[in-house]
């Protein structure tokens, strides 16, 4: 059963930063998966006071279901403004579910080089894994029905918030 109201996503970002801080190396870089992960990565950069710009990744062309689902209507460019080779990365996403988005992001990251390590940070882990993927940093474990989806979005003031959608 989902808590009502849904948790404060901004407070969850602060919790993620608290979990990540002890494991940060001086050359750790953040890479956010569009779009929710990109918003969270920006928040984490501020909270962790990291000087380097974050990387942004769009996995649309790397998904294994691309042929079945087609192209997402809002494909964004991937931008990695730093060298990936040999450095620790934290891949950031809003919700971890089947693991397929994470796998696609890792595949794309390796096109830029071989990182020393990739850790995964998510605000919500909803279970339901189809691939052996787990988050090293997670603010919320939640159980949802197959017809439910958590959606992270900014409000009018730019604060991140959760919304629950139900699909027929």
Domain residue ranges of the chain, discontinuous segments joined by +: 9-166
The answer to whether the beta carbons of residues 114 and 98 sit under 8 Å apart is no
- Would you tell me which CATH number, out of the four given (3.40.50.2020, 3.40.800.20, 3.10.310.30, 3.40.50.300), belongs to the domain 9-166? 3.40.50.2020
Angle at alpha carbon of residue 60, lines to 46 and 119, rounded to 5°: 45
- pTM reported for the whole predicted model: 0.92
| Alpha-carbon span 129 to 111, nearest angstrom | 25
| Alpha-carbon span 94 to 82, nearest angstrom | 22
* Res 60 pLDDT > 90: no
Q: Are strands 117-125 and 88-96 parallel, antiparallel or unpaired?
A: parallel
* Res 67 pLDDT > 60: no
């Amino acid at each position: 059963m989902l808590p009502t109201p849904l948790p404060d996503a901004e407070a969850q970002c602060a919790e993620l930063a608290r979990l990540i801080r002890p494991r940060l190396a001086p050359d750790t870089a953040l890479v956010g998966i569009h779009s929710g992960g990109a918003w969270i990565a920006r928040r984490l950069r501020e909270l962790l006071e990291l000087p380097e710009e974050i990387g942004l990744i769009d996995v649309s062309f790397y998904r294994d279901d691309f042929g079945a689902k087609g192209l997402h209507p809002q494909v964004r460019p991937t931008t990695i403004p730093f060298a990936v080779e040999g450095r620790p990365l934290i891949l950031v996403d809003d919700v971890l579910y089947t693991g397929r988005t994470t796998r696609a992001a890792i595949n794309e990251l390796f096109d830029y080089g071989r990182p020393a390590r990739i850790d995964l940070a998510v605000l919500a882990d909803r279970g339901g894994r189809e691939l052996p993927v787990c988050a090293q940093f997670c603010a919320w474990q939640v159980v949802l029905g197959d017809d439910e989806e958590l959606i992270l979005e900014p409000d009018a003031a730019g604060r991140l918030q959760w919304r629950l959608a139900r699909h027929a």
